[in-house]
Amino acid sequence: MLNNIKLSPTTLVADYIVRPAESFFRQEASSSVLLLLASLIAVAWANSSFAPAYHHLLHTNLTLALGEIRITKSLVHWINDGLMTFFIFVVGLEIKREILVGELSSPKSALLPVVAALGGMLFPGAIYFLLNRGTGTANGWGIPMATDIAFALGAIAVFGRKLPVGLRVFLSAFAIADDLGAVMIIAFFYTKEIVWSYLIVCIFFVFGLAVANFLWIRSTLLYALLGLGVWIAVLGSGVHPTVAGFVVAMFIPARGKYDTDQFVKKVREIMDEFQCEEQSCGYSILLDQGHLSAVHALELACHDVETPLQRMEHSLHPWIAFGLLPVFAFANAGLSLEGVNLTSIFAHPATIGIALGLLIGKPVGITLFSFLAVKTNIAVLPTGVRWSHIIGAGMLGGIGFTMSLFVSNLSFFSAELLNYSKLGILLGSILSAIAGLLFLTGNYSLQSRREAASSA
C-alpha cells in the first residue's frame, strides 16, 4: 500500500523540519500568555491584603522521604530546585537536538547564535558589574544574562508570517545557547561549597547513564531512576540541583532502535496485512484479530523508530510550557511594594544594572558580536534575515524573565534585594519587549513601503 508513496525533498523539509519547528514556536508563544498572567497574579496577590497567605503558601514545608533519606524544603524551594530541574532538562534536550541536527549542527550556522549569545551575556553582565562593583549586590552580575525564550517568541509571534522563519530560528537558537551559558554560570559561580563525597556518587550515576546509552537501552524508567539519583547526589554536593537536569539530558539517546529505512520496510510489511474485500475495511478492527495485531505492531514500530530524546522532549514540553513555567512565575514574580520607597528602588544600582543590562547590554552585545562573526566570515546570516532583524531580535533578547528570576534567587537572600532585582527584571524585560516590537514594526512598515514603491 505504501509502494506508490514517494517522499520528495520538499515533503521531508515540510514534515520533518518546518512543521515541528512551527509547533515549537506556537507552544512557546502561547505559554508566554500564561507566564504573564501568572506573574500579574503574583504581583497583585503579594501587594494585596492577602499577601501573608501568599508568602505562607510559598514557605510551607514539604518532605520527600524514602526510608532513612528525608528531604525537607519549602514549596518555593521545591519549585526552584526540583521542578525547575525538568525545565533545565528540556533545555538540555533542545540543545542536544540543535547540536545534532538543528541550527547548531553545522559550524557556520551554529556560530552565529552561539557568538550572539556570548555577546548577549558579556555586555549585560559587564554593565551590571560596573554599576554594582564594590557593593553588596555585585554578586548579581549573572541576572541580566539570559533570554526568556517563551516571552521572546511570544513577542515575535505578534508578526505572524511577516518576518522570516530564519529570524525566529535565530532567536530561539541564541536563547537556547545563552540558557546553556546560564546553566554553566550557575554551576561554576553560584555554588557555595562542594561536598566531594556526593559528587563522587553523582559520577557513578552519570557513568550508569553513559553505559545505558552505549548499550542502546531505551527504557524511559531506567533513565528516570538514574536521573533521580543524579539529582539527589547533586543536591547533596552543594552544586545547584537543576544542573542535574542538563547533565542527564546529554545522555538521553538520540537514536531509535532502528533507522528510517528499516521502519519503512516494516510498515510496508504491516500494511500488507490489511487486505479487505471491495477495498473497504470498515470497522474491521472490531472483527479481525489480524488487523488489531497489525495496528499494535504499527504502534510499536512507530515507538521504536522514534528516538528517546524526541519522545521525552515532545511529551515534556507542553507540561513545561503550560504548567511548570507559569507555576515558577507565580512563585517568584511576587514583587512586594509594601512600605517601599519607589524612588529608592528605581535609584538602586541593582535595579538600574539589571534594567540597563537587559535593555541596552543585550541588543548591543548580540548585534555587535553577530556583526563581527559575519564580517570575519566565521558565520552567515540566516536566509531572508537582514541586520535590522538582528537588531530587533537583540532587543527582544532583553526579555530575561524566567532565568533572570532564577539567578536572582541564587544571588540574593534578602527580601529587600530580591525586590530590587525583581523590579529591575520586570522593568528591563517590559521595556525590551516594547522596544523590540516597535523597532521590528517600524522596520517592516518601511520595508513594505519600499517594496510597494519599487513595484509601482
Mean pLDDT score across all residues of the chain: 80
Q: Does 38 reside within a domain? A: yes
Please tell me the total count of domains within the chain: 1
Cβ distance 405 to 332 under 8 Å? yes
Could you report the per-residue pLDDT of 333-376, keeping only the tens digit for each?
777 776 666 677 778 899 999 999 999 999 999 999 999 999 99
* Torsion angle of the four alpha carbons 3, 9, 10, 12, in this order, in degrees rounded to the nearest 10: 70
Residue 129 in domain: yes
**286, part of any domain:** no
Closest to 111 in 3D by CA, of 170, 184, 180, 156: 170
Helices 260-271 and 289-305: angle between axes, nearest 10 degrees: 170
Residue 170 within a domain: yes
Encode pLDDT of 62-93 as tens digits.
887 777 777 788 888 888 888 888 888 887 88
Contact between residue 152 and residue 185 where contact means Cβ atoms under 8 Å apart = no
3-state SS of 170-226 is: HHHHHHHHHHHHHHHHHHHHCCCCCCHHHHHHHHHHHHHHHHHHHCCCCCHHHHHHH
**Residue 300 maps to a domain:** no
Contacts of 237 (CB under 8 A, 6+ apart): 194, 195, 196, 198, 199, 202
Inside any domain, residue 215: no
User: What is the DSSP secondary structure assignment for residue 82, as one 8-state letter?
Assistant: I
275-325 pLDDT, tens digit each: 776 666 666 666 677 777 777 877 777 777 778 888 888 888 888 878 888
Rounded to an integer, what distance in angstroms lies between the CA atom of residue 179 and that of residue 403?
8
Spatial distance between the Cα atoms of 425 and 332, rounded to a whole number of angstroms: 12
For 92-149, how does the pLDDT look when each residue is reduced to its tens digit (9 = 90+)?
888 788 778 776 677 777 788 889 999 999 999 999 999 999 888 888 899 998 887 7
User: pLDDT digit string (tens) for 4-48?
Assistant: 434 444 444 444 444 444 555 555 556 677 877 888 898 888 888
**Which carries the bigger pLDDT value, residue 248 or residue 176?**
248
Q: Is residue 283 part of a domain?
A: no
Report yes or no on 180 lying in a domain: yes
* pLDDT value at residue 151: 75
The span from the CA of 136 to the CA of 427, in Å, is 21
d(CA 286, CA 200): 55
- CATH number of the domain within which 99 lies: 1.20.1530.10
Residue 256: which region, alpha, beta or left (left: phi > 0; alpha: psi -120 to 50)? Answer: beta
**The domain containing residue 355 runs over which residues?**
9-190+240-256+306-455
